[in-house]
A and B are shown apart, each in its own frame.
Chain A
Amino acid sequence: MERKCKTGIIIASVLTLVIGVLLYKSAPLFDFSRVGNIVVFRNLSGVFIGCLIFIWMFAYVLSTKAIELKDDLDFPYSDFIFIVALCIMLLIPMSHLKGSDRSDVENRMFNKFPYILINNKYINQKYGDEFNLWFSDRFNMRTELISLDTSLKCSLVKNFCARNGVILDKKTKVIYTPSFFGLPQIRKYKKEKMAVIADNLTRFNEFCKSKNIKLYLLIVPRRYDFVEISEAFHRKDYGVEYIEYFKKNTDIDIIYPYNELIEANKETPVFFKTDHHWSKKGAYVGYSALMEEIKKQYPDIKVLNEKNLEVYYSNLVSNSFNENLNTGSLMRQFGLLNSDGAKLLDTQYKYYVNKEKDNIFVNLDSDLPDFNDKYDFDIYYDKGYDKKVFVMGDSFIWNLTEFLASSFRRVVVYPDNNKQMYLYKYEKIINRYKPDIIVIVMRSSYIETLLNLYPNKFSKKEFK
């Protein structure tokens, strides 16, 4: 056999072995079974072996050609290795494509495999773009590359690293939301807005009174007073001004557990560092403050006591009633998905075990209008206080839900997901469900959402 062939076989075999091990390690399942909606392969091991044969042939052809060419030239070995390395690198992303259609990390559906023909008639003009999106969502080592990019770009800076619209404070390992990015927002027409919101709240309170409903407004203080951030990002808290104004100008029961949270934060974090929500501990403090207020109206109500709850700790984040631990929304937005990201999770958060969990029934087939079983909850607890509670507001509701669910007979959690807090949306539900108590839960920076509660000069067009 020619020297060229022998060397080619050796090189191709070694390369195939190396690539095979790398592929097997990076993608043990080697799932090529679906390309879009078309089932291509079912025998996974067969695909794997097929790919290895393909790689071997490719490497053999390339290496024999290279040797042939190298013999004719004075070709340096470093360039030869360079070309081989390049060839391997070009093959890696294609070597394993994710079969899943959904990314939990990115909280979105992956792009689907495009069709060349639309309705079997017309050529899909966007095929190229759609194919690129499809491949870009699924190529091998995508997560590692994204994390590498984030790590590299963060390593260039000393204190703060901005990625995908959020900022990481490298010293405190706190991630900030865009509201802190750049310059302070201009709060135009603040006084007029305050008056309109106060008027809205008063009207809503009157509406509730007419239906024998007790209304509470639980305002969650902003996160930046509870996590360690650089002074450069300190901003005035406009929310406090609003609260003071409402307390003076409305008769609504407002709960603003700022001092309680500050006190609790000394013991354990009440806000997450990698997520913009409050922790279970924070939510528990909010719950206690709320229940203290509710107890004035309903003295018989039983309030959960922290001492009677089982406790555990985790460095992960949960912002859901259904206890789904993850790295946090801001962390995901930032894009550190590998071990570098894990280094940020250095804080232990307090969690509670709900002993009554088995006695709580969550109705996922609720007939409530526009019920979304991912965000909305209709909860029954027979042992709870015999009152119906309707909770509206923003996503801070969710960590609070666990405690409320163990206190009342029925709790409907109905957060607003797009600043659409206008009464017409809720009137149907309130009239139908006839709650005894309504709780509005929202963070202080979100207060202006209440502008849309009733149509007014500041309302967005669609709410008028």
Chain B
Amino acid sequence: MLFSSMTFIFVFLPIVLFLYFIVKKELRNTLLLLASLVFYAFGATKHVFLMLAIVMLNYVGALLIDRFQNKKKFLLVATIFCNLTILIFFKYFNFIYDNVSALFNLNISVFNVFLPLGISFYIFQALSYVIDVYRGEVKVQKNLINMALYICLFPQLVAGPIIKYHDIEGQIVEREVNLSDIAIGSKRFIIGLSKKVLLANALGEIADKIFLLDPSTMSHSVAWLGSIAYSLQLFFDFSGYSDMAIGLGLIFGFKFMENFNYPYISKSITEFWHRWHMSLSSWFKQYVYIPLGGNKNGIIKTVRNLGIVFLLTGIWHGAAWNFVVWGIWHGFFIILEKVLNLKEFEQKHNILPVKILMHIYCILVFVSGWVIFRAGSVAYAFTYLKNMFFIGNSVPSHISDNISYYINSNDMFIIPVAILCCFPVFKNFIHIKHPVFKTCMNIVLILLLIISTASIAADTYNPFIYFRF
């Protein structure tokens, strides 16, 4: 079930909210767990049992780690191995098989594995739990419902933020729901919904049209339009979803970590990763980068550790070579910035022209990165990038030459608004306490909800018209 669907907003959410606030406190976790399973089953019925199996695996794994302290390392490795085997099988089996087949010219037909919804997110959360138990940072969760709720909690189940167990341990057992949090949570939800429905979807239409074209036949301007539209779409789509998740969490009394902090204003790729998908970055930092030694063992090992982390980041995002290349691309620039000590350079030359140049550098890197991310193949990505950067001669066809074919009058309004929203112009608007401002803000948010709902409703309009008849 998508947050931006009529069923979620106007059927599932009101029913769950109603039940949540009328049941006794002791039953709220059970209710939320059941609601989460229904939520998941609506999108991936057959994979509910897989998710429950993962819950059981980690529940038992953590109990054993806690019980048998002398064998806890072995038990941790075994639990992580099982989790990763499941992840690799469901997410990467087809990819590995295709590549092995191509490499060895195999022609064996095997079954096709379907990717369970959100598996990367909930397995990473499960890993966080067992590792935290192993490290002794948290107490083992003996209540199966509480443990299952941590992994299955519907607001962040399918697209994050990835919640680390030690951040939420206390809230699962005991949490306060107050009206202020409900109000702020509702506002965050509406902002997220608007980002997704009003901005990301409109930008996605532009990007989709352009990325369908042969990159060697589009003009440079169209190539740039496509990459910018996609960069904006991805940000508003993902951050919108995170806003909705954080908002829903607040309504139910959970305080999830922030996932985005205006990443497109970054002046370096290092800074970008401190602002983009922060829950994933911090997960890799705490459970991969620091255990590998972090930056404590000299530059060579730091480079190695960064390389591993970004390779894994790329692979985590999807089972295709373009994601691997995208991870390497970001890793390369992170390492370069580390080696060249860009942070020190920035501090020394804290003047506007340098800041602007660094910002431009960062934009070029991440926008190019998103082209690799979006492209169906590595070859497509590089042809596209060559076109963007005027390398080689593209031969624009009559259609792909014309930028006006891809943007309509509404987009002329949407694109500037989207660019403006990439900057922290409206930051903390929902927290301002001035009564008049607050009232105006509330009215704007209600209007945004109506407009977003209208947009979702319009997508359900599907007239059958025999145009050509």
Contact assessment for A182 and B405 in the assembled complex, using a CB-CB cutoff below 8 Å: yes
Please report which residues of chain A, range 352-411, place their CB below 8 angstroms from some CB of chain B when the two chains form the complex: 394-395
Using Cβ atoms and an 8 Å threshold, which residues of chain B touch A296? none
Please report which residues of chain B, range 4-24, place their CB below 8 angstroms from some CB of chain A when the two chains form the complex: 5-7, 9-11, 13-14, 17-18, 21-22
Interchain CA distance A150-B461 in the complex, whole Å = 11
Using Cβ atoms and an 8 Å threshold, which residues of chain B touch A142? 457, 460
CB distance from B466 to the nearest CB of A (A): 7
Contact digits for B172-190, partner A, Cβ 8 Å, 1 yes 0 no: 0000001110110011000
Partner of A78, one of B1, B410, B442, B468: B442
Binds B, one of A16-24, A62-70, A211-219, A303-311: A62-70
A156-B410 contact given A73-B179, A86-B449, CB 8 Å threshold: yes
Interchain CA distance A332-B445 in the complex, whole Å = 30
A-B pairs under 8 A by CB, number: 176
Please report which residues of chain A, range 197-225, place their CB below 8 angstroms from some CB of chain B when the two chains form the complex: none
Using Cβ atoms and an 8 Å threshold, which residues of chain A touch B450? 89, 148
Please report which residues of chain B, range 449-463, place their CB below 8 angstroms from some CB of chain A when the two chains form the complex: 449-451, 453-455, 457-458, 460-463
Using Cβ atoms and an 8 Å threshold, which residues of chain B touch A65? 21
Show 15 A/B contacts (Cβ-Cβ < 8 Å), sorted by A: A80-B179, A81-B442, A85-B446, A93-B453, A108-B462, A142-B460, A145-B453, A145-B458, A149-B455, A153-B410, A178-B467, A186-B398, A329-B467, A335-B463, A417-B466
Contact assessment for B179 and A94 in the assembled complex, using a CB-CB cutoff below 8 Å: no
Using Cβ atoms and an 8 Å threshold, which residues of chain A touch B429? none
Q: What is the number of residues of chain A that contact chain B, defined by CB distance less than 8 Å?
A: 74
Interchain CA distance A386-B163 in the complex, whole Å = 83
Binds A, one of B41-49, B124-132, B231-239, B316-324: B41-49
Which of A90, A161, A182, A417 has most B Cβ within 10 Å?
A90
Interface of B is mostly: helix
Contact assessment for A146 and B458 in the assembled complex, using a CB-CB cutoff below 8 Å: yes
Contact assessment for B43 and A61 in the assembled complex, using a CB-CB cutoff below 8 Å: no
The residue in chain B whose Cβ has the minimal distance to the Cβ of A330 is B465
Using a CB–CB cutoff of 8 Å, the interface residues on chain B facing chain A are 1, 5-7, 9-11, 13-14, 17-18, 21-22, 41-43, 45-46, 178-180, 182-183, 186-187, 398-399, 402, 405, 408-410, 413, 433, 435, 438-439, 442, 445-446, 449-451, 453-455, 457-458, 460-469
State whether the Cβ of A231 lies closer than 8 Å to any Cβ in chain B. Answer: no
Using a CB–CB cutoff of 8 Å, the interface residues on chain A facing chain B are 58, 61-62, 65-66, 69-70, 72-73, 75-76, 78-83, 85-87, 89-94, 105-108, 123-125, 127-128, 131-132, 135-137, 139, 142, 145-146, 148-150, 152-153, 156-158, 160-162, 164, 177-178, 182-183, 186, 276, 329-330, 332-333, 335, 394-395, 415, 417-419, 446
Contact assessment for B45 and A156 in the assembled complex, using a CB-CB cutoff below 8 Å: no
Contact assessment for A149 and B454 in the assembled complex, using a CB-CB cutoff below 8 Å: yes
CB distance from A303 to the nearest CB of B (A): 28
CB distance from A397 to the nearest CB of B (A): 10
Using Cβ atoms and an 8 Å threshold, which residues of chain A touch B42? 127-128, 131-132
